[in-house]
Each structure stands twice: as structure tokens, then as C-alpha cells.
Amino acid sequence: MYCPNCGKPLNGSSNYCPDCGYSIGAITNHQSAVSSQRPLKSKSEFISEHLKKSSYYSLVIFSVIFDSIALLLFILNFNKLEVIFSRYSSDSSKLEALIPFFVVIVFFIIGSVLIASAKKVSKKVQNEYNIYILTEPQEIRRNTSGRILGTNEWMCPKCGKIHQNYVGSCGCGGEKP
């Protein structure tokens, strides 16, 4: 494993870089044996791959379904608001008119909980990407001049030129790994 700050090799049991003192913290040793031949994944590639493996998309879909049902129930029962706010309606008819709105509230709450869970999954995947970037061997992230590439950069496998992640191909014809 290599220090993400200075790129020097680290002792496997150390929590700090012996050269620059950088705190290694959340980096685990299980990825230190990764082959330096494997290309570093881009952020969008890593995140989309891990979101597909997680429950993110199903959480978002169910959230949309529950919120849509709640909105539909609210629209279908909108005319009952007149009964609820009328001074001349009996208490039992007001209570009966309120029941669909309680159901609407429950569906909105379920939809909100699902979307909050999806955001938590998304944040977890972002954190996994940050750990992935820090634990990859630095040889993968170095260009020909020895400079360590940033997390938003990639190196052309043909010519070694550094590009930002939003650039998909190099001028020499090399594709983003």
C-alpha cells in the first residue's frame, strides 16, 4: 500500500506515513495486493457499477411509486376537504373524510423514508469510491513524469498524457480506461 499524500510505500501495520506523517485512517490493507496492471476505474464507472449491485435503484423506484400513489389519493379525495372544513358537517363525517388523508400521509412518509435510504446508499458508495482511490497502488495513478494523478484525472494508456475525467478520449486516439 502507498501513501495517498506522498506516494511512498507504507508499512502494512502503520496508520501514519513514516515520510510525511499523513494519517491513513480508513484505508484497509485488503486491497494493497491489487495488481498494478489493472486500470483505475473512473468515478462514474465505479459508482454506477456499485449502485447497480446495491438496492439503490429499487429504493428510488419504490419511493416514486409510494409518492405517486399518495399524490393520486390526495387528488382523488381533494373534494372531501370541503366536508372537513365545513362548519355544518357532523364530526363523524369529518372523521370519515379524514381517513384517506391519513393514508396519503402514511404513503408520503414511506416514500420519504425510502428516498432517505437511497441517499444513504448513495453516500455509502461515494465513501467506498474514496477508499478505493486511496487504496489503489500509486503506480496506477502515476504518469510518466512520476506525478500522482488526482481523483478527477486519468492517464492515456498510449501516450501518457493526463486528462480530466470528463474527457473521454485522448488526441492520440487513446480511450479513457
The per-residue pLDDT for range 81-129, each reduced to its tens digit, is 877 777 777 888 888 888 888 999 999 999 999 999 999 999 998 888 8
- Classified as helix, coil or strand, 130 is helix
Contact 114, 107 (CB under 8 A): no
Most confidently modeled range among 6-15, 113-122, 166-175:
113-122
Residue 160 has pLDDT above 60, yes or no: yes
Q: Residue 39's pLDDT is what?
A: 60
| Total number of domains constituting the chain | 3
Which of the given ranges, 31-40, 73-82, 115-124, has the highest pLDDT on average? 115-124
User: In 3D, which of 164, 123, 142 has the Cα closest to residue 3?
Assistant: 142
| Same domain, yes or no: 64 and 100 | yes
**81 and 146 share a domain?**
no
Query: What's the domain range around 9?
Result: 1-33
What is the distance between the terminal CA atoms of the chain, rounded to a whole angstrom? 22
Amino acid 71: pLDDT: 93
Cβ atoms of 108 and 101 closer than 8 Å: no
Shared domain check, 143 and 105: no
* Matching residue, cell 448513495: 122
Number of Cβ within 10 Å of residue 107's Cβ equals 20
Predicted pLDDT at 26? 42
Q: 115 and 48 share a domain? A: yes
Which residues make beta-bridge pairs with 15? Answer: none
Residues 45 and 130 in one domain: yes
The pTM score is 0.51
Phi, psi of 38 (to 5 degrees): -75, 130
**CA 4 to mean position of chain CA atoms:** 21
Whether 67 shows a pLDDT value over 80: the answer reads yes
Q: What is the mean pLDDT of the chain?
A: 77
Do residue 143 and residue 131 come from a single domain?
Answer: no
Give the pLDDT of residue 47: 87
What confidence tier does 69 reach under pLDDT thresholds 50, 70, 90?
A: very high
CB atoms within 10 A of CB 173: 9
Residues 147 and 127 in one domain: no
Between 109 and 1, name the one with better pLDDT. Answer: 109
Q: In this structure, are 108 and 168 located in the same domain?
A: no
